[in-house]
Amino acid sequence: MANYPSNPSGQSRPGSANRWLPPIEERPGATGRGEYRTSFDGVGQKTRAGRGREVGSKMYGLFQKAATADGADKSGLTALTYPVMANFAADAAMAVALANTLFFAAASGESKSKVALYLVITIAPFAVIAPLIGPALDRVQHGRRVALATSFAGRTALALLLIANFDSNTGSYPPWILYPCALGMMVLSKSFSVLRSAMTPRVLPPSIDLVRVNSRLTMFGLLGGTILGGAVAAGVEYLFGLLHLPGALYVIVAVTVIGAALSMRIPKWVEVTEGEVPTTLTYHGPTEHFRRPSGPSLTHKTRQPLGRNIITSLWGNCTIKVMVGFLFLYPAFVAKSHDASGWEQLRILGLIGAAAGVGNFIGNFTAARMQLGNPSRLVVRAATAVTVMALATAVSGNLYVAALATLITSGASAVAKASLDASLQDDLPEESRASAFGRSESLLQLAWVAGGAMGVLIYTDLWVGFTGITAVLILGLAQTLVSNSGDSLIPGFGGNRPVFAQQESRGTASAVLE
């Protein structure tokens, strides 16, 4: 399934789906698939340093070949890939800083109630702002790259603020600085994800679809950002620790500055909004099944309601994201609350972290290669699997079952997100996809924040925490199942709508095609 077919003849692509993309054959200086070459002709006997440079050059060549494959360098996808990798690397460096100094150094002298208060104060503004990000993106004409760069610049400022308040004698921070800055960086990272989702349809190469593009971005982020960036951050943290300095925070500063600069190198056509039709979550028209709409947009005030499969996928993905957010913070407080030794805490967090990483990698690898013939059904199954594993952990109260639940949740999250992407591409007209991706990502990040807040506020006995999150997941799964069957527990926000809804004027009932 491609966005539009490849045209090897070199002619322009009239009527291509990505109508914002300039004719890629006319862009000089770009390297396509298979055009990257490395040569060492004329090199005689090489020293060890020379062989090392050769290996490094070949590895860089392989990376460039993968990053520019399928015309990604010409469409602008390669330019977007680099900021995505920087965002993953910043998240990995932040995780190193949190694991080594932030939460654990401060939590020893702070009660859980105070920690919860700081985090809730930080989360509350995002809970208000997140639903507004999607509509704001619909109105932004020429500021998407700047907004992306700002998400990096904000993290640079917060990391510098933490560095300035670092106490080298105790290796800790004032709690009123620590928790708002840590959560602020997380929120900015989630905001980056929302902005990136809105940009991705604009840099879509001709020979691959949005599902594969998003999977590719995630794989580059995991390999080049999380793994490589995390390793560098851990090494710098160790070396700077000998000098009583927060090394991982310096890595965050460097990575976010580079990320801000790379964001401004994304092609300008990602900001062209002419002809876009914003999407809306609500629907109040007829609920019968109709064929795919094919008419033109009505007016500049036209809105595109999301169809049944998309709404079902959104509810299922939000349900899973609540669990993902819960698992991000809750295990850390469980480990700290039981007065275990440092090695025991490391074992708990290492087991959960490894399960999350492996599950995420397997899920993205699988999603990139599987046939997404019925995306909403896959989402329902993924949400069901996550809810069952949460219930199993609540019943057993066992750490290893929690690790298995984390593994399945991470994998299911990747598969469900790919399924949502497939629904957005298949069930919406091209002029509404950028808006839909931005709005859906806003909802997913809000669900993640809600799960994270629950992980902070709930009691730290394993079975109690997972009982609480299971109750929330059951409600989300119920709404997902009901939406998939064409009904809703929440009027106007469920599946009692057609699969393909016709565009509507603001303030009027939806029109559908017979």
Angle at 39 between CA 35 and CA 42, to 5 degrees: 155
Fold type of domain 279-514: Growth Hormone; Chain: A; (1.20.1250)
Q: For the stretch 314-346, what's the b/e string if a residue is b when 16 or more beta carbons lie within 10 angstroms of its beta carbon?
A: bbbbbbbbbbbbbbbbbbbbbbbeeeeeeeebe
In the chain, what is the greatest distance between 2 CA atoms, to the nearest angstrom? 77
Q: Which CATH architecture has domain 75-274?
A: Up-down Bundle (1.20)
Report how far residue 75's alpha carbon sits from residue 80's, in angstroms, rounded to the nearest whole number: 10
CB atoms within 10 A of CB 456: 21
218/362 Cα distance (integer angstroms): 12
Distances (CA, A) of 496 to 115, 314, 377, 479: 42, 14, 16, 12
Torsion of CA 218, 273, 6, 313, to 10 degrees: 50
State pLDDT tens for residues 27-74: 444 444 444 444 444 444 556 556 666 666 777 677 777 777 767 778
Phi, psi of 302 (to 5 degrees): -70, 145
Residue-level length of the chain? 514
Per-residue pLDDT, 74: 81
Q: Where are the domains of the chain?
A: 75-274, 279-514
Residue type at position 261: A
Q: Answer yes or no: same fold for 75-274 and 279-514.
A: yes
110-148 as b/e, with b when 16 or more CB fall inside 10 Å? beeeebbbbbeebbeebeeebeebbeebbeeeeebbebb
- CA-CA distance, 90 to 226, in Å (whole number)? 8
Whole-angstrom distance, CA of residue 159 vs CA of residue 289? 52
Q: Mapped to the 3 state alphabet, what secondary structure does 400-465 carry?
A: HHHHHHHHHHHHHHHHHHHHHHHHHHHHCCHHHHHHHHHHHHHHHHHHHHHHHHHHHHCCCCHHHH
Cβ proximity of 277 and 383 under 8 Å: no
Closest CA to 450 of 356, 334, 318: 318
- Position 37 scores a pLDDT of 44
Question: Average pLDDT per run of 10 along the chain, which is 514 residues long?
Answer: 38 46 52 44 54 66 72 81 93 80 48 56 58 58 80 94 85 75 81 82 80 83 87 90 87 95 87 70 62 50 80 94 88 68 70 87 81 84 95 91 93 91 83 79 84 80 90 94 87 74 58 36
Q: 380, 330 in Cβ contact below 8 A?
A: no
DSSP string, 243-257: TT--HHHHHHHHHHH
